[in-house]
Amino acid sequence: MKTVMITGCSSGFGLEIARYFLDRDWSVIATMRTPRDGILPPSDRLRILPLDVTDAASIAAAIDAAGPVDVLVNNAGIGWLNALEGTPMQVARELFETNTFGTMAMIQAILPQFRQRRSGIIVNVTSSVTLKPLLLLSAYTASKAAVNAFTESLALELAAFDLRAHLVLPGRAPDTSFATTARGRITGEGGFPEPYDDLVQAVVARFQQPDDAITTSLDVAEAVWRAATDANAPMRIPAGADAVALSPGA
């Protein structure tokens, strides 16, 4: 039986990825900052562990508790929508600490066991915002684009040890709490700068328009499953109709 370790499983993509692998008879290690019982079906193949990807001690404890892992899915992340002028530098640093450095730290922690066994797969969940410049997303996009870049270089290093690394790029997912959480952070940091009001209203109006081309959590789980189980899967896997439309060759 294979084991997958997934970060950021309290809701959204991470929760659906955990369900998807459980349904396919994998052993699942679902991690979250504050573990919650009852959000996943009871199973003797499920363990829920506390994990803060910005805390080195937390990472070490989770990796130790997890034991041997076949696939690591780096899904934990935080969102942000604002002009650069309205983005405090501590917020920019927080985006990179979680989205970028947290992903790198998790990989560093698990690589020794992968390398020693010459077996293991890394799946990093980023975003389709890295495929097309979008308004008010400069800081967030930077944190995710950095993951794309280092993953593609990392894959070259890992190939020498028969290891694989992949990127899953979801599109806009209105069925998750990601946008709501990001809006709360924006309000807590003072909102949008007044000179950008017209720009913000235009962006918000666009988000509110009905759109069939969106991403569901299931789309993301299926893309992660493909990365984890298909030896011929491409480096970049778009997840969701909107992400597919933005991908080169679509």
Q: Which residues are catalytic?
A: 140
How far apart CA 100 and CA 128 sit, in angstroms, is: 16
Contact 141, 129 (CB under 8 A): yes
What does the chain come to in residues? 250
- The strand order across the sheet containing 121-125 reads 46-50, 27-32, 3-6, 71-74, 121-125, 164-170, 236-239
Residues 6+ apart with CB under 8 A from 85: 193, 195, 196
Whose tokens are 């003072």? That residue is 190
Whose tokens are 């967030």? That residue is 140
